[in-house]
Each structure stands twice: as structure tokens, then as C-alpha cells.
């Protein structure tokens, strides 16, 4: 995560679907450090806006600027059930290189892959523990975990990547009460910029400000949902 001031900004943002349906026209939005809850009625474009901010959709006009790395957790998360946990966390190549070095292979490419990240396995297990996934081994496959655990697994990958900006789209969907409590702790402790789309009132009580998306624009309210 960067030490410089972090922000996420949309300038004159416009977007229309291929059939010509307009979603945004000249939307302006700037989000600084802290946690922002993005709310609005169904169909107001919350998820579309998050995908635009994350770079998953290309605007038809305007631009999105971020001063750091962006991490994005989509609402409808589909993970390959055959992939291993370490691959979902993005550490599979580093683990393989570490194990090769530990087995006595001094090949230079292993050190290039590892870089300075010699504690990557410890950090990965700490991220899993933080989300209540400590019992899930790094060598297990996604097909062996529940739907709620797969959401937390993807969130653990984002925590490991340490982005400057974190975008979450309905992250508590499909989570039980225990998993939700773990996610709430992550939200409360996030040190950078966070934008979370949610209908979960308990989650929205943990943000610093509310952005209400309506009629293609945003109204701001200080403090959490209440």
C-alpha cells in the first residue's frame, strides 16, 4: 500500500450499454481515504459504477483516475473449482519457488520469483486466519470450500495484494453471521480508500460516509447509515 495520499476520481464519466441505454452522463466523483458506503435503489447503477471504477468496464466518455493500485471484489464471484487456494491467493508461483530453494535448488529464476517475499506463506496464513479460514490449507482446491468461504478467500487475496483502493460489491451476500463478523472487522480496519456497495445496514454502520447514487448523480452524507 502506498504511503502517498490516495484517492479515486471519476471525471465527466459517461456510460451506455450497447443497446443505447444510458446509465451515466457526466458523472463526477472523488473519493479520498476512509470508507464510503455506496447506496441507491435497485437499477441506479451502483454495480455498474463500481465496475467502471475498477476498470472492468470501459466508459463511453470521461475517465477514472486512481493514485494507487485498485482491488475489486465483484458481487457475482465465480472461481474455478479446480484451482488451488494458493493460486486464488496469487502466491502459487512464489510458493513453488520457495519450496524449490528449500529443497536445495539454487536456480536464479527461483530467487527472481520470490523477490523479498520470503514470508509469503506466513502472510497468506495470517490473512486466512483473519477471515476465519485458518483451517483451509493452501493446497486445497476451491471445490472443497463453501460459497461463502470462496468470497472470503478472494478477499484474503486482496488483503495479501495490499491495494491502495478497495472496491467491494455486496460483499456480505452468501455469508453466514460468523463470516460477516470477520468481514466487518476487515472493513473497520481498512487503512486506505474503500468503496462498498451494500444493502447490509450493519455493514453500512461501519463506514465513514454515505454516497447516495440517484438520477445519475451522487449525494453525500457524513457518517454511517444511521
HEC-encoded secondary structure of 144-213: HCCHHHHHHHHHHHHHHHCCCEEEEECCCCCCCHHHHHHHHHHHHHCCCEEEEECCCHHHHCCCCEEEEE
User: Whole-model pTM?
Assistant: 0.87
- How far apart are alpha carbons 203 and 105 in whole angstroms? 48
Count of residues in the chain: 226
- Give pLDDT tens digits along the chain (226 positions): 545 667 899 999 999 999 988 999 999 999 999 999 999 988 889 999 999 999 999 999 999 998 889 999 998 777 778 889 999 998 999 999 999 999 998 899 999 999 988 999 999 999 898 888 888 889 988 888 887 888 889 989 998 888 999 999 999 988 889 889 989 998 998 888 999 999 999 999 999 999 999 888 899 999 899 8
Tell me the pairing of strands 34-39 and 209-214. parallel
Tell me the domains of the chain and their CATH numbers.
1-69+165-221 (3.40.50.300), 78-161 (no CATH)
**Cβ–Cβ under 8 Å, residues 168 and 207:** no
Amino acid at each position: 500500500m502506498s504511503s502517498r495520499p490516495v484517492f479515486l476520481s471519476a471525471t465527466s464519466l459517461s456510460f451506455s450499454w450497447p443497446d443505447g441505454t444510458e446509465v451515466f452522463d457526466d458523472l463526477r466523483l472523488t473519493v479520498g481515504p476512509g470508507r464510503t458506503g455506496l447506496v441507491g435503489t435497485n437499477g441506479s447503477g451502483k454495480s455498474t459504477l463500481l465496475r467502471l471504477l475498477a476498470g472492468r468496464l470501459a466508459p463511453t466518455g470521461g475517465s477514472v483516475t486512481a493514485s494507487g493500485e485498485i482491488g475489486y471484489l465483484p458481487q457475482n464471484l465465480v472461481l474455478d473449482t479446480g484451482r488451488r487456494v494458493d493460486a486464488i491467493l496469487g502466491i502459487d508461483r512464489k510458493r513453488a519457488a520457495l519450496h524449490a530453494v528449500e529443497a536445495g535448488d539454487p536456480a536464479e529464476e527461483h530467487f527472481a520469483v520470490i523477490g523479498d517475499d520470503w514470508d509469503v506463506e506466513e502472510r497468506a496464513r495470517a490473512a486466512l486466519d483473519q477471515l476465519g479460514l485458518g483451517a483451509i490449507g493452501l493446497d486445497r482446491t476451491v471445490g472443497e470450500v463453501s460459497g461463502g468461504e470462496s468470497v472470503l478467500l478472494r478477499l484474503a487475496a486482496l488483503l495479501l495484494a495490499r491495494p491502495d483502493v478497495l472496491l467491494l460489491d455486496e460483499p456480505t451476500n452468501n455469508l453466514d453471521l460468523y463470516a460477516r463478523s470477520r468481514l466487518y472487522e476487515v472493513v473497520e480496519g481498512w487503512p486506505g480508500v474503500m468503496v462498498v456497495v451494500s444493502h447490509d445496514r450493519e455493514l453500512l454502520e461501519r463506514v465513514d460516509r454515505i454516497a447516495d447514487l440517484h438520477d445519475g448523480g451522487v449525494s453525500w452524507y457524513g457518517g454511517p447509515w444511521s
